[in-house]
Structure 1
Amino acid sequence: MKQLKNLLFALPVVVICSCQQNAKKEQANTVDTSASAAKGTFGYDLAFLQKHDSVIVLKSSDGKAQIIVSPKYQAKVFTSTANGQSGRSFGWVNYKTFDAKPDEHMNAFGGEDRLWLGPEGGKFSLYFKPGTKMEFANWHTPPAIDNESWQLVSKSSDEVTMSKTTEMLNYANTLLKIKLDRIVKLFHRDDIQKMLGINAEYNVAAVGFTTTNIITNNGDKGWDKTTGAPCLWNLDMFSPSEKTVIVVPYHDNATGKVATTDYFGQIPPDRVKYDKGILLFKADGKSRGKLGVPPNRAKTMAGSYDPQNKVLTITLYDVDSKGTYLNQEWTPDKPPFIGDAVNAYNDGPLATGGQMGPFYEIESVSPAAFLKPGEKLVHAHSVFHFTGDEAQLNDIAVKTLGISLKDIQAAFK
């Protein structure tokens, strides 16, 4: 993966993650749903999800690092923990959606890492029928990534492979025949050490996983700038706190704007700041806003810090600085092949007063999949959470994100 090449430092930290196990040994996926797990814990979310699905749990030999994967719910990684069933659940799960009437626009089940396809808007949109006005009433998430089950291809003690075959009609009236494959892998101790250059010591717990996302042109016609082409789109939904801040490092010496900050109206200046290669975005779930960083500015890493719960999150993903990225704005009038590679979103109340969350998102996008029949495009996206001793969390933040926890917390006082 391209993302493996970018972090070559060493740092003492405890990594409570999975150790090698016999690949033939099945994971114990059941819990006592009558047990009184506290809301906000991994055990609570696991018990809830098992009432709706026979989810797959990948976990370390000591049971500390765990993730929940669901072929039924569009191959999502619903959530993870670094401290077993009583530990904090890092993903955001939208409990009310599971028993609600299906929504024609989007069924927001949540999920710490879900796969969508883009573009959302633009002249090659997958979310608007040809000729319709690009407004919410006409916006519909394609069923394959919204409410349809995926096929479970294989599973082992640390890895799950899922697939989906589908067709989507884009705004240019091109029928795209698509095959999607998604491999979810829980990191072992050696994996995290190799990716982040960290050692296993002392007081910080961690969990990490990666998703390898593959799109194949399953038709008999190529996808190009005339027909339009889709892209792979990873979205990570996390629970916010009053003081959570998203951190997006960027190339300071590149040309052009640093970020688009007006996807859903201009983000107020007291909620977003960027200087000297570091963008900071307040993620308290109280003010709706989205931003994006273009591929020539984007680095292969972003993250967030929640000082109230002492949780440092790091995401790693592929970026092609010379790739063609798609414009996802809800208009057919802008150039379709000038878009962002990395996005961040903070949920908040709508104009009507309602709100889906609260949650916040860190997102990565692949370049446009200009593919001939049978060709594939691969996009890798990984997530890590660290929690525990703040001094050690600070060391990780400085050496990965390039900023101290003190400076992150001081940004929006």
Structure 2
Amino acid sequence: MEKENNSADAINNTQINEQPVTYGDDVNFMADYIDLIELTDASNQSKVALSAALQGRVMTSSAFGTKGRSYGWINRELFASRKIQEHINVFGGEERFWLGPEGGQYSIFFKKGAEFTLDDWYAPKLIDLEPFEVKSVSAEKAVFVKEASLKNYSGFEFKMGIEREIAILSSENIQKELGLASLSSAVKTVAYQTTNSMINRGDADWKKETGLLSMWMLGMFNHSPHTTVLVPYIQGDDAELGEVVNDNYFGKVPADRLVVKEGVIYFKGDGQYRSKIGLSPMRAKSLAGSYDSENGILTIVKYNKPEGVTDYVNSMWEMQDKPFEGDVINAYNDGAPEPGEKPLGPFYELETSSPALDLKAGEKGTHVQLTCHLEGDEASLNPIIEALFGVTVEAIKRAFN
């Protein structure tokens, strides 16, 4: 990273709401700071930009070539500053490989004996700044690998091998993966699937008694005043399945920003209020998404949720009575952490996690996630939204009324 700082106008991410940043704009900008790998489908319209320097991260994607909208949120200000931050370097990107748990006695973000406060919270360098090695690259697929070790809050050291495969999908495969009967030619699409694997390289088995890890995929996307996060959930008795949604991460989410209706949770992704929600494995399905009604963008995240598995790491910032009763799906909306303070982005996030990985020595765990962007008019997107989420475009637009 050797280029001089750009002007504030050139790096201001808020321009996204006024004039969409194109994929070509973002790729050209990032190419001055990091090497990028680009995947493209046979049509040369679906494109995905990856960074080995940032852990095989998907930085952004497009459904319409270099002139198409850039779907990933990119922190241009941080790139241009060339400064390394102490706690975390929020470069952005629409799918990054992370590890949990974040908080609790088995945390990998807090050192042993530290207080669970922001001052003592540090993103491990492994998932913040360290590069992954490029194992192989083709036009439609890239594979990244990493050998590493991490010590948790309780002092247990994990020795691991990580492999991350990223493949771009054709429109036919998108239709198949989403289980859609048809996909209108009027809808522009881009999708990629990541297969994330972790191997226990140590001599000791990973056990609950000393803490477990999870693979955690987080996607930062460009917010808008008209973006609504959609999370379908398993309906049933609270006494049997627990609460529908956990909204206690940053304090209770106001009722005008989080609405639970029959079968679907609506959560604002407008980048105007810092808040987060989560669903337990008892409530979560294998799907989440968002819809920007103004710009006609449907984003879908689908993952492999193992049936009958309920042990997920708990990332709450506290000593935990139930460290393996965490959430499997999360959504985050950025905003000022305190009145008058600057937000991280703003942006919004869709996240999924693997189960807690109780891997024996030499054993491997895998977490697969599909991210898909479909861009089109209401008439074209409505049947897809109905098929996947069981609601209409009009219901989404009226959700907070």
TM-score relative to the length of structure 1: 0.89
Instruction: Give the aligned residue type for 1:349.
Output: A
TM alignment of 1:170-185, pairs within 5 A: 170-185=152-167
In structure 2, the residue matched to 1:189 is 171
Residues 211 and 381, structure 1, Cα contact 8 Å, conserved in 2: yes
In structure 1, the residue matched to 2:201 is 218
Task: Give distance in 1, aligned partners of 2:183 and 2:358.
Answer: 42
In structure 2, the residue matched to 1:298 is 284
Instruction: Give the aligned residue type for 2:293.
Output: P
Q: Does 1:324 align with 2:311?
A: yes
Residues 188 and 374, structure 2, Cα contact 8 Å, conserved in 1: yes
In structure 1, the residue matched to 2:213 is 230
SS at match of 2:342: coil
In structure 2, the residue matched to 1:340 is 327
Q: Does 1:366 align with 2:354?
A: yes
In structure 2, the residue matched to 1:289 is 275
Instruction: Report the alpha carbon displacement of residue 318 of structure 1 after superposing the two structures with TM.
Output: 1.7
Deviations 1:173-230 (A, max 9, x none): 1111111110000002331122123435431111111111111111111110111111
In structure 1, the residue matched to 2:144 is 162
Instruction: Report the alpha carbon displacement of residue 252 of structure 1 after superposing the two structures with TM.
Output: 0.7
Instruction: Report the alpha carbon displacement of residue 144 of structure 1 after superposing the two structures with TM.
Output: 1.0
Residues 235 and 263, structure 2, Cα contact 8 Å, conserved in 1: yes
Instruction: Give the aligned residue type for 1:346.
Output: N
SS at match of 1:305: strand
Instruction: Report the alpha carbon displacement of residue 340 of structure 1 after superposing the two structures with TM.
Output: 0.6
| Residue among 115, 126, 144 paired with 1:133 | 115
In structure 1, the residue matched to 2:5 is none
Deviations 1:365-413 (A, max 9, x none): 1110101111110001111111112111011000011111110111124
Instruction: Give the aligned residue type for 1:83.
Output: F
Q: Does 1:390 align with 2:378?
A: yes
TM alignment of 1:347-358, pairs within 5 A: 347-351=334-338, 353-358=341-346
Residues 231 and 367, structure 1, Cα contact 8 Å, conserved in 2: yes
Instruction: Give the aligned residue type for 1:225.
Output: K
> Structure 1 residues 39, 256: CA separation in 2 closer, same or farther (over 3 Å shift)?
closer
Residues 217 and 372, structure 1, Cα contact 8 Å, conserved in 2: yes
Give the root-mean-square deviation of aligned CA atoms.
1.3
Task: Give distance in 2, aligned partners of 1:393 and 1:201.
Answer: 9
Task: Give distance in 1, aligned partners of 2:183 and 2:304.
Answer: 26
Task: Give distance in 2, aligned partners of 1:313 and 1:403.
Answer: 15
Q: Does 1:259 align with 2:245?
A: yes
In structure 2, the residue matched to 1:31 is none
Task: Give distance in 2, aligned partners of 1:302 and 1:208.
Answer: 15
User: Is there any run of 5+ residues in structure 2 with no aligned partner, and where?
Assistant: 1-18
Residues 103 and 110, structure 2, Cα contact 8 Å, conserved in 1: yes
Instruction: Give the aligned residue type for 1:315.
Output: V
Task: Give distance in 1, aligned partners of 2:314 and 2:41.
Answer: 40
Residues 241 and 306, structure 1, Cα contact 8 Å, conserved in 2: yes
Instruction: Report the alpha carbon displacement of residue 282 of structure 1 after superposing the two structures with TM.
Output: 0.8
Give aligned pairs, total. Answer: 376
Deviations 1:305-339 (A, max 9, x none): 00111101111012234231111001113321111
Instruction: Report the alpha carbon displacement of residue 62 of structure 1 after superposing the two structures with TM.
Output: 2.7
Instruction: Report the alpha carbon displacement of residue 74 of structure 1 after superposing the two structures with TM.
Output: 1.3
> Structure 1 residues 148, 390: CA separation in 2 closer, same or farther (over 3 Å shift)?
same
Instruction: Give the aligned residue type for 1:219.
Output: G
In structure 2, the residue matched to 1:402 is 390
Task: Give distance in 1, aligned partners of 2:345 and 2:327.
Answer: 24
SS at match of 1:167: strand
Task: Give distance in 2, aligned partners of 1:231 and 1:94.
Answer: 26
Residues 93 and 109, structure 1, Cα contact 8 Å, conserved in 2: yes
Q: Does 1:64 align with 2:52?
A: no
Q: Does 1:121 align with 2:103?
A: yes
Percentage identity across aligned positions? 39
Instruction: Report the alpha carbon displacement of residue 135 of structure 1 after superposing the two structures with TM.
Output: 0.6
TM alignment of 1:88-127, pairs within 5 A: 88-98=69-79, 99-127=81-109
Task: Give distance in 2, aligned partners of 1:225 and 1:259.
Answer: 25
In structure 2, the residue matched to 1:274 is 260
Moved more, 291-300 or 51-60: 51-60
> Structure 1 residues 200, 292: CA separation in 2 closer, same or farther (over 3 Å shift)?
closer
